[in-house]
Amino acid sequence: MPIAISGPIITTRGLSFSYNPHSQHPIHALRGIDLDVHPGEYLLVIGHNGSGKSTLAKHFNALLRPTGGEVRIKGLDTRDPANTLSVRRAVGMVFQVPDNQIVATVVEEDVAFGPENLGVPSGELRERVDWALDLVGMAEHRHRQPHCLSAGQKQRVAIAGMMAMKPDVLVLDEATAMLDPEGRRDVLEVVRKLNGEGLTVVAITHFMDEAAEGDRVVVLKEGRIAMGDSPRELFARVDELCALQLGVPQITELAYFLNQRDPTFPPDLLTVGELADAVERVANAPNNADDSSLPPLARTRAVPAPMVPSEQTLAIAKEDDQPLVQVRDLHHTYLRGTPLEAPALHGVSLEVNKGEAVGLIGRAGSGKSTLAQHLNGLLRPREPGRVRVGGHDLSDPGVDVRRIRQRVGLVFQYPEQQLFERLVGDDIAFGLKKLGMARLERVERVRWAMEAVGLDFEAFKDRYTFSLSGGEMRKAALAGVLALRPEVLILDESTSGLDPRSRRELLDRLLALHREEGLTLVFVSPSMEDVAELVDRVYVLDEGRVALSGPVREVFARPEALRRYGLGVPQVTGVIHELRRRGLAVEGVPLTVAEGVEAIWKTLNS
Partner 1 sequence: MEDFELLRYVTVGQYLPGDSVVHRLDPRTKLSVFLFLTLAATFSLSYAANAILVLLTLGLVLLAGIPLRYILSGLRPAVPFIVVLAVLQLLFYGDAYTPYGTETQDLLRWGWIHVTNGSVQLVVVSMLRFVVLLFLTSLLTNTTTLTGLTHGVEAMLRPFGRLGLPAHELSLVATVALRFVPLLAEQLEIILKAQASRGASIAHQGKLRFVTTARQVAVLIVPLFVDAFRRAEDLILAMQARCYVGGQGRSSYVRLHFARADYVAYASGLLFAAAMLALRNRFPI
Q: Return the residues of window 331-370 that contact partner 1 according to CB under 8 A.
A: 334-336, 338-340
Residues 495-534 that bind partner 1 (CB under 8 A): none
Residues 374-403 that bind partner 1 (CB under 8 A): 376, 378-380, 401-402
Q: Starting at the earlier edge strand, list the strands of the sheet with 224-229.
A: 91-94, 169-173, 200-204, 42-46, 216-221, 224-229
Pairing relationship of beta strands 325-334 and 386-389 according to DSSP bridges: antiparallel
Does residue number 218 form part of the binding site for partner 1 (CB under 8 A)? no
Query: Least distance from C-beta 338 to partner 1, angstroms?
Result: 6
Per-residue contact flags (x/-) with partner 1 for residues 129 to 148, judged by CB under 8 A? x---------------xxx-
Q: Residue 86, Cα to own-chain centre: how many angstroms?
A: 34
Render 241-293 in DSSP notation, one character per residue: HHHTT----HHHHHHHHHHHH-TTS-S---SHHHHHHHHHHHHHSSSPPPGGG
Candidates 101-109, 235-243, 299-307, 440-448; binding stretch for partner 1 (CB under 8 A):
101-109
Q: How far apart are CA 142 and CA 233, in angstroms?
A: 42
Q: Which CB, 62 or 246, lies closer to partner 1?
A: 62
Sign of CA dihedral 401, 405, 408, 412: positive
Neighbouring CB atoms inside 10 A of 267's CB total 18
Per-residue contact flags (x/-) with partner 1 for residues 254 to 293, judged by CB under 8 A? ----------------------------------------
Sign of CA dihedral 63, 69, 74, 75: positive
Residues 435-454 that bind partner 1 (CB under 8 A): 435
Does residue number 105 form part of the binding site for partner 1 (CB under 8 A)? yes
Q: Which CB, 483 or 546, lies closer to partner 1?
A: 483
Query: Least distance from C-beta 107 to partner 1, angstroms?
Result: 10
Among 47, 52, 161, 559, binds partner 1 (CB under 8 A): 161
Does residue number 89 form part of the binding site for partner 1 (CB under 8 A)? yes
Q: Which CB, 146 or 425, lies closer to partner 1?
A: 146
Neighbouring CB atoms inside 10 A of 484's CB total 20
Please tell me what DSSP assigns to residue 464: B
Q: How far apart are CA 124 and CA 190, in angstroms?
A: 23
Q: Which CB, 175 or 275, lies closer to partner 1?
A: 175
Q: Which CB, 19 or 334, lies closer to partner 1?
A: 334
Q: How far apart are CA 503 and CA 210, in angstroms?
A: 17
Candidates 95-103, 274-282, 507-515, 538-546; binding stretch for partner 1 (CB under 8 A):
95-103
Q: How far apart are CA 316 and CA 321, in angstroms?
A: 10
> 338 CB contacts (<8 Å, ≥6 apart)?
none
Among 99, 134, 393, 441, binds partner 1 (CB under 8 A): 99
Per-residue contact flags (x/-) with partner 1 for residues 417 to 436, judged by CB under 8 A? xxxxxx-------xx--xx-
**Reduced to 3 states, what is the DSSP secondary structure of residue 368?**
helix
Does residue number 239 form part of the binding site for partner 1 (CB under 8 A)? no
Among 30, 44, 93, 238, binds partner 1 (CB under 8 A): 93
Q: Which CB, 153 or 418, lies closer to partner 1?
A: 418
Render 104-162 in DSSP notation, one character per residue: SSSHHHHHHHHHHHTT--HHHHHHHHHHHHHHTT-GGGTTS-GGGS-HHHHHHHHHHHH
Contact 582, 603 (CB under 8 A): no
Candidates 94-102, 219-227, 244-252, 303-311; binding stretch for partner 1 (CB under 8 A):
94-102
Candidates 258-266, 295-303, 305-313, 410-418; binding stretch for partner 1 (CB under 8 A):
410-418
Does residue number 373 form part of the binding site for partner 1 (CB under 8 A)? yes
Q: Which CB, 231 or 367, lies closer to partner 1?
A: 367
Among 406, 423, 513, 565, binds partner 1 (CB under 8 A): 406
Does residue number 476 form part of the binding site for partner 1 (CB under 8 A)? no
Q: Which CB, 108 or 505, lies closer to partner 1?
A: 108
Count the residues of the shown chain that bind partner 1, applying the rule CB under 8 A.
Answer: 75
Q: Which CB, 53 or 405, lies closer to partner 1?
A: 405
Among 95, 131, 448, 565, binds partner 1 (CB under 8 A): 95
Query: Least distance from C-beta 213 to partner 1, angstroms?
Result: 24
Around 415, how many Cα atoms within 13 Å sit in the side-chain half-sphere?
Answer: 25
Query: Least distance from C-beta 336 to partner 1, angstroms?
Result: 7
Which secondary structure element, helix H or strand E, spans residue 90, and what is its range? Answer: helix 84-90
Q: Which CB, 371 or 593, lies closer to partner 1?
A: 371
Q: Which CB, 409 or 574, lies closer to partner 1?
A: 409
Contact 109, 160 (CB under 8 A): no
Residues 29-88 that bind partner 1 (CB under 8 A): 58, 61, 63, 85, 88
Query: Least distance from C-beta 126 to partner 1, angstroms?
Result: 8
Angle (nearest 5°) at CA 539 between 535 and 545: 165
Does residue number 487 form part of the binding site for partner 1 (CB under 8 A)? no
Residues 109-128 that bind partner 1 (CB under 8 A): 109, 112-122, 125-126
Query: Least distance from C-beta 412 to partner 1, angstroms?
Result: 6
Q: How far apart are CA 246 and CA 242, in angstroms?
A: 6
Q: How far apart are CA 294 and CA 298, in angstroms?
A: 11
Amino acid symbol at 36: D
Query: Least distance from C-beta 517 to partner 1, angstroms?
Result: 19
Strand partners, 228: 218
Q: Which CB, 230 or 373, lies closer to partner 1?
A: 373
**What are the E-state strand segments in 9-74?**
10-19, 27-37, 42-46, 68-73
Among 235, 257, 412, 523, binds partner 1 (CB under 8 A): 412
> 254 CB contacts (<8 Å, ≥6 apart)?
269, 275, 572, 575, 593, 596, 597, 600
- The radius of gyration of the chain's CA atoms, rounded to the nearest angstrom, is 26
Q: Which CB, 295 or 337, lies closer to partner 1?
A: 337
